[in-house]
Amino acid sequence: MAEGQIRKAISGFYYVEHDGELIQCKSRGIFRLKGINPLVGDLVTYVPDGENDATITDVHPRKSELVRPPIANVDQVLLVFSVVEPDMSLRLLDRFLTVIESHQLEPIIYVSKEDLADKQTVENNEANLAYYQNIGYTVLRNSSPEESLLEVLRPYISEKTTVLAGQSGVGKSTLLNTILPELDLKTGEISDALGRGKHTTRHVELIEIAKGLVADTPGFSSLDFEHIDREELRDYFVEIREAGAGCKFRGCLHVKEPGCAVKAQVEEGTISEGRYKNYLLFLQEITDRKPRYS
């Protein structure tokens, strides 16, 4: 009996890291009856079943869990957004941030493809991203030719488990190839017709980089708000959550209520009008969704 961490899962087999080696494991049949599904990132107990085969007998409690991508015990999300090809969408960025916040994970925004954009586009994005920095988000870029991308990311990914996410075509696989060339991950060309990249990542795998673990995954395949109640959404916009403490009514949704501190800060320009409009759009989307019946 030994313990390790699932680093990748392919075709019903789980590859558990133990003392620098990957042990091929299968899971116990009883897991399915109990509704337990081992995930990449899980800490597990396994029993050797031959020279390099084993059976997972226990899945340890998780500190976090994502369904899409299926991965456990994540600390943070490295959110890759390109300046061009595809152009940066702040609404999509807010959508990602909302989903990440709802899972109580730390988001880090990495800006890619600045070298492909004209000066005006870069400056416009700088102004927009300055707001996200002001409300507490980390925004990274690789703008210094003297510093490698790995050196830029090292302080943020060391000793952490990180999931990559972002719109298709923004350069997630390219980023991983740059910081770990031996991966040689397949990168998809952007479809001119769709403006989206082809999905090139097929399975979830944790890769050791800079004393941390980075998940090469298909990313967040779903960005819906099915798991978020309308009363919870305000908590996932950090500046709205903070300003909301000053509202006249405790259950204020910051829409039409009197004495709303959030709307006051939007009018003052303290809270971004664009972010607030996205909050209202997301709130309406959650309000309009069909009820779920179990």
| One domain for residues 107 and 208 | yes
Would residue 88 count as lying in a domain? yes
Give pLDDT tens digits for 143-194.
776 778 888 899 999 999 999 888 776 667 777 778 777 666 544 433 333 3
Contact 111, 79 (CB under 8 A): no
Q: For tokens 């006051």, what's the residue?
A: 264
| One domain for residues 56 and 32 | yes
Structural domain of residue 237, as residue ranges? 233-288
> For position 74, what pLDDT does the model report?
95
> For position 3, what pLDDT does the model report?
95
Q: Whole-angstrom Cα distance, residue 7 to residue 203?
A: 11
Give pLDDT tens digits for 117-141.
889 998 999 999 999 999 999 999 8
| One domain for residues 206 and 271 | no
Contact 237, 136 (CB under 8 A): no
Give pLDDT tens digits for 45-70.
999 987 778 999 999 999 999 887 88
Q: Whole-angstrom Cα distance, residue 40 to residue 213?
A: 11
41: DSSP letter: T
Q: Inform me whether the pLDDT recorded for 261 exceeds 80.
A: yes
Would residue 264 count as lying in a domain? yes
Q: CATH code at 82?
A: 3.40.50.300
Would residue 133 count as lying in a domain? yes
| Averaged pLDDT for residues 4-32 | 90
Would residue 224 count as lying in a domain? no
Contact 111, 83 (CB under 8 A): yes
Q: CATH code at 55?
A: 2.40.50.140
> For position 99, what pLDDT does the model report?
93
| One domain for residues 156 and 209 | yes
| One domain for residues 15 and 102 | no
Give pLDDT tens digits for 201-252.
457 889 898 899 998 666 665 678 888 999 999 999 999 999 999 999 999 9
| One domain for residues 178 and 259 | no
Would residue 37 count as lying in a domain? yes
Q: Inform me whether the pLDDT recorded for 20 exceeds 60.
A: yes
Helices 172-179 and 149-157, interaxial angle, to 10°? 100
| One domain for residues 283 and 160 | no
| Averaged pLDDT for residues 25-52 | 87
Give pLDDT tens digits for 95-122.
999 999 999 999 999 998 888 888 999 8
Contact 33, 63 (CB under 8 A): no
Contact 69, 221 (CB under 8 A): yes
Please tell me the total count of domains within the chain. Answer: 3
Would residue 198 count as lying in a domain? yes
Q: Whole-angstrom Cα distance, residue 58 to residue 94?
A: 37
| One domain for residues 79 and 208 | yes
| One domain for residues 211 and 143 | yes
Would residue 221 count as lying in a domain? no
> For position 157, what pLDDT does the model report?
93
Q: CATH code at 242?
A: 1.10.40.50
H or E stretch covering 131: helix 119-134
> For position 150, what pLDDT does the model report?
87
Q: Whole-angstrom Cα distance, residue 72 to residue 222?
A: 17
